[in-house]
Amino acid sequence: MATQASAVSAARSKTAPKNGKTNGKTNGKSRDAGRSAGDVKNLALADKGYLRMEWAALSMPVLQQIKARFEKEKPLAGLRLAACLHVTSETGNLALTLKAGGAHVALCASNPLSTQDDVAAALVDAGIPTFAIKGEDQATYYRHIAAILDTEPQMTMDDGADVVGVLHKDRRELLRNIIGGTEETTTGVVRLRAMAKEGVLAYPIVAVNDALTKHLFDNRYGTGQSTIDGMIRATNRLIAGSVFVIAGYGWCGRGLAMRAKGMGADVVVTEIDPLKALEARLDGFRVMPMSEACVIGDFFCTVTGNTEVIREEHFKRMKDGAIVANSGHFNVELDLETLAKIATARRTIRDFVEEFTLKGGRRVVVLAEGRLVNLAAAEGHPSSVMDMSFANQALSAEYMAKNHKKLEKKVYSVPQEIDESIAGLKLASMGVKIDTLTPSQRKYLASWQEGT
C-alpha cells in the first residue's frame, strides 16, 4: 500500500513551481497551444490532487502492477499519445502509468464538467501537459482538444470519440502520424463502428469498452453506484419510497436499477429493445414507455447513448419537482433546449441543481446540465472498478504500439488474453482464489462422445 502511494508522490516534478505560483503557462491563463505545459484552473491545487491520486492508487493494484512493469520495459518509449478522458484521480494514475511506459502524454477532458481541478493541477506538476478546467465552455473544450492534437500525436486515447471526430473532420493533416488508438466508452465505440462501416476510419482502434473486464464492471457496478452517488450529492433527497425511472437497460441501466432498488426505490425501466425490456421485467422491475413513466416518476435518469429520450411531451407531464438526470455519455439524451424554451423561469437552486418552471407553475429539476451526473456532481466511478478499465487502456496501448503494422483501419476488441489476465490479476489482488480444471474435466469439456 505504502509503495503505491509513494509511487504517485514520486511523480512530483522536481522543478515544479512552489506555493502555487505558476510558470506563466498554466493557471487558466495559457492559451498557447502546441507544447504548452497545460491549461488548468489553479496550480496551487496540485498538493490536493496528488493526495487524491494516491488515495485512488490504493484501490488500483492491477494498474500499479502494469506501471511497475512499464517502468522497466518502456513499451511506449518515445510515443506521443493524446488522451481525451475524464480528468479524474483514476485517469491521473493511468497517465502516470503511460508516462512510466515511456509515452509523452498530453491530456484533455472528455466532458466540460467532469474535471477534478486538483488532479489536473497535479498532472501538470508531474510533467504531463493537461488541458482541462471544470465548467469550461464549449469553445474552451474544443480548444483543449486542439491543444493535445498540436502535440502531433502518434496514438489517441478517447472517451466518446471526440478526438477522432476532430482529427477526421478538421485536422486531417495529422492523420499520417497516427498508428492507432483506443476508445473507452459505448457511445465512442458506436461512433467508431459507424465510421469503419462507412470506410472513413483512418487508423485501427481498440474498443476498450468491449472487454468484459470493462463493461461488465465499469458500466454496471461503476455507473450504478456513482450515478446514485451523484444524484444524492446534488439533491440530498431520499431514494427510498420514490419512483425511480431509468431509461435504457443496458450495462449502465442494469447497474443503476440494481442500486436504486437496493436503496428502496420502486424502479421503472423504459426500453426500445424487447429483449432488454423482458430482462428488466424478469429482474423484477416495472417496464413501460416513457409516455407513461413520465407521469409517475420522482427521479429520472437516462443511460441509453441515444438522443432526445426525455423530451417536451414528457417534461410537460411530469410531477411537480420531478428530478431529471443523465448518466449517458452526451447530454443530448435530454432535450434541454426545448425545456429551456418552454420554461417561464429557471434558476440554479443549489450546485448542479437547476429548476425550470413551466406554464401553470409545475417545476422540473435538471441535475448537472444533463451531463454525466456521476462525474459532474460526484467523482465518477470508484477507483477499484477503474483499475480494470484503465488496465485495459494501458495494455491496449501497449498492444497497439506492438501490433499496429498488422492491423487494418478497423475497430478491434481487446484481445481475450488481455481481458483474462486482468480478471486474474484483479481476483488475486482481492485475495480470491478459484478452482482449476482437473485433467479429466479438461478432457470432458473438449470431447463430444460422452452422453447420458
116 binds ligand NAD, rule: CB under 6 A: no
Q: Measured from the CB atom, is 337 or 408 closer to ligand NAD?
A: 337
In the structure grid, which three cell numbers stand for residue 351, read together? 450546485
306 binds ligand NAD, rule: CB under 6 A: yes
State whether residue 150 is helix, strand or coil: coil
324 binds ligand NAD, rule: CB under 6 A: no
Identify any residues that bridge with 268 across adjacent strands, giving them in sequence order: 245, 286
251 binds ligand NAD, rule: CB under 6 A: yes
162 binds ligand NAD, rule: CB under 6 A: no
**What is the smallest separation between the CB atom of 210 and ligand NAD, expressed in angstroms?**
11
214 binds ligand NAD, rule: CB under 6 A: no
Q: What share of the chain is helix, strand, coil (3-state, %, to 5)?
A: 50, 15, 35
219 binds ligand NAD, rule: CB under 6 A: yes
CB 113 within 8 A of CB 371: yes
247 binds ligand NAD, rule: CB under 6 A: yes
**What is the smallest separation between the CB atom of 174 and ligand NAD, expressed in angstroms?**
25
CA angle 40, 43, 45 (to 5 degrees): 105
Q: Measured from the CB atom, is 126 or 290 closer to ligand NAD?
A: 290
Q: Measured from the CB atom, is 70 or 352 closer to ligand NAD?
A: 352
Residue 272 CA to residue 285 CA, distance in Å, equals 15
Q: Measured from the CB atom, is 64 or 223 closer to ligand NAD?
A: 223
CB 89 within 8 A of CB 56: yes
Amino acid 377 reads A
Mark 88-115 as b/e (b = at least 16 C-beta within 10 Å).
Answer: bbbbbbbbbbbbbbbbbbbbbbbbbbbb
Q: How many residues sit in the footprint of ligand NAD (CB under 6 A)?
A: 31
187 binds ligand NAD, rule: CB under 6 A: yes
Q: Measured from the CB atom, is 187 or 235 closer to ligand NAD?
A: 187
DSSP state at residue 249: -
**What is the smallest separation between the CB atom of 311 and ligand NAD, expressed in angstroms?**
10
Per-residue x/- mask for ligand NAD, residues 259 to 278, rule CB under 6 A? -----------xxxx--x--
248 binds ligand NAD, rule: CB under 6 A: yes
Cα distance from N-terminal residue to C-terminal residue, the chain: 52
Site for ligand NAD in 360-379 (CB under 6 A): 372, 374-375
392 binds ligand NAD, rule: CB under 6 A: no
Instruction: Return the range that interacts with ligand NAD (CB under 6 A); candidates 183-191, 198-206, 360-368, 406-414.
Output: 183-191
Mark 131-140 as b/e (b = at least 16 C-beta within 10 Å).
Answer: bbbbebeeeb
Closest CA to 373 of 309, 328, 333: 328
Residues contributing to the site for ligand NAD (CB under 6 A): 185-187, 215, 219, 223, 247-253, 270-273, 276, 303-306, 309, 327-329, 372, 374-375, 380-381
